[in-house]
Amino acid sequence: MNPHFVQRMGFVLLTLISLVVVIPILLVMGVIAVRGAQIISVEFLTAMPRQGMTEGGILPAIVGTLLLTLGTALVALPIGVGGGIYLAEYARDSLFTRTIRLAIVNLASIPSVVYGLFGLGAFVLFLQFGTSILAGSLTLAIMTLPVIMSTTEEALRAVPVEFRTVSASLGGTKWQGIRHVVLPQALPGIITGVILGLLRVAGETAPILFTAAAFYLPRLPQSVFDETMALPYHLYVISTQVPGMPLDVQYGTAFVLLVFVLSLNIVASLIRSHFRRKREW
């Protein structure tokens, strides 16, 4: 066969294959946007649900998801970033650090429903937090830790070792070098990692199923020990558990969740590209 023809065919084939990735995303977003956008109104976003959730708004679910995400960030950020700093800057290769790395890899591959059950056992029952925002946030935090920890480690490792040497040569201690020279440069990568980690759990249903989520609770949570509605769980409920639910309420809820997750994603990309342009190496 003519090699030019083979080359062209290969090119066309590979292009088509990569399109396969794009099509489902565009379809999902398109369908949800078109069908969900119609119901979006001030009332839908700011009112309590009424009539067995078939009318009114989804405010408590929106607030619940925001609070759960915030709580997750508060717990996972210091632990994840701290652990990432340890792994990248201080850990030497030993049985101890290999155990940590093994734990990270394994945590990342545990099914989310298992996290939910763990949270139920550990936080809801054993620590007696009850089904609550606190228990849910802790569960989600554990789930997102591996992502935050490993992206922090990668971001720190991407900063050339010479910067640490320069800081040391100017009389800086190891921590001063990390604090003043390495961390600022790794920060965009760390922030991106944290957001992506939060993104992943913001849309999760299974981990909050037993730990935080309320089926139908038309009021806003008053404390971290309250249970709460949340967008992913609400979507699950109105799609499968409530007969006669209007389709546009389902699509509307999916649309809001999608917009929330996508906007976090866009923020992460903006931060990344903004700092990449300013980077000096």
Q: Least separation, in Å, of the C-beta of 150 and other proteins?
A: 23
For the CB of residue 179, give the shortest distance to other proteins in the complex, in Å. Answer: 10
Helix (H, G, I), strand (E, B) or coil at 1: coil
Q: What is the DSSP letter of 228?
A: B
- Pick 180 or 276: Cβ nearer other proteins: 180
In three-state secondary structure terms, 213 is strand
Cβ at position 160, least distance to other proteins in Å: 8
Q: Indicate the residue type of 69.
A: T
Comparing CB distances to other proteins, the nearer of 7 and 173 is: 173
Selection from 195, 209, 229 nearest residue 112 by Cα: 209
Q: Least Å distance between CB 183 and other proteins?
A: 11
CB of 50 to other proteins, least distance (A): 55
Q: Is 55 helix (H, G, I), strand (E, B) or coil?
A: strand
CA distance 75 to 176: 25
C-beta of 2 vs 169, nearer to other proteins:
169
Nearer to other proteins, 143 or 190 (CB): 190
Contacting residues toward other proteins, per CB under 8 A: 92, 162-163, 165-173, 176, 180-181, 184-185, 280
Of the two residues 128 and 173, which places its CB atom closer to other proteins in the complex?
Answer: 173
Of 231, 198, 199, nearest to 213 by C-alpha is 231
Task: Name which of 163 and 236 has its Cβ closer to other proteins.
Answer: 163
Shortest distance in whole angstroms from residue 78 CB to other proteins: 24
The residues facing 124 across adjacent strands are none
Does residue 58 contact residue 253 with C-beta atoms inside 8 Å? yes
Q: Which is nearer to other proteins, 97 or 239 (CB)?
A: 97
> CB 67 → other proteins: shortest distance, Å?
36
Query: For residue 69, how many C-alpha atoms fall within 13 Å in the half-sphere facing its CB?
Result: 24
Computed on alpha carbons and rounded to an integer, the radius of gyration of the chain in Å comes to: 23
132, 93 in Cβ contact below 8 A? no
Report residue 209 as tokens. 């199923």
Distance CA 12, CA 172 (A): 56
